[in-house]
């Protein structure tokens, strides 16, 4: 049925299934062991591996990540310094003032 008037949008009822016996630790262990089983390379298995990796976030080598972040920050600093230098040269040149005079006249 359609709902008319000032009411909000109709939202469907949700299906909430809570299992009686759910062992989160056992499920986590099975998913971790299944992650290293390369015999099953189906699409569902790969989806579960990706989902588990995202859920666990980054558990790799922290020193490597810190080194890469430091490199990225230095690269950003170099780009910023070059942009400042180029903008200083452009603003100090006579070409900008001549262009402004030409446009204003």
Question: How high does pLDDT run on average in the chain?
Answer: 79
Q: Which residue's structure tokens are 């080194």?
A: 67
Please, which pLDDT band fits residue 84 given cuts at 50, 70 and 90? Answer: very high
* 24-56 exposure pattern, b = at least 16 Cβ within 10 A, e = fewer: eeeeeeeeeeeeeeeeeeeeeeeeeeeeeeeee
Is the pLDDT confidence value at 1 over 60?
no
* Lookup: tokens for 76: 């950003």
CA 12 to chain centre: 31
Q: From CA 83, how far away is CA 65, in angstroms rounded?
A: 27
Decide if 44 contacts 61 (C-beta within 8 A): no
Percent of the chain with pLDDT over 90: 17
Contact 34, 45 (CB under 8 A): yes
Indicate the pLDDT class of residue 6, thresholds 50, 70 and 90: low
Per-residue pLDDT tens digits for 13-39: 888 877 788 888 888 888 777 766 666
- Whole-number pLDDT of residue 59: 62
Tokens 């189906």, residue?
Answer: 42
d(CA 50, CA 54): 6
Q: Examine the pLDDT at 2 and tell me if it is beyond 60.
A: no
User: What are the boundaries of each domain within the chain?
Assistant: 20-59, 61-105
**pLDDT tens, position by position, 55-78:** 666 666 778 888 999 999 999 999
């Amino acid at each position: 049925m359609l709902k008319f008037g000032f009411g909000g949008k109709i939202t469907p009822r949700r299906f909430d299934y809570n299992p009686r016996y759910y062992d989160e630790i056992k499920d986590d262990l099975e998913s971790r062991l299944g992650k290293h089983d390369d015999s099953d390379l189906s699409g569902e298995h790969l989806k579960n591996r990706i989902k588990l990796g995202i859920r666990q976030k980054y558990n790799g080598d922290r020193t490597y990540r810190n080194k890469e972040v430091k490199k990225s920050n230095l690269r950003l600093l170099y780009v910023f310094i070059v942009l400042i230098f180029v903008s200083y040269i452009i603003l100090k040149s006579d070409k900008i003032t001549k262009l402004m005079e030409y446009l204003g006249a």
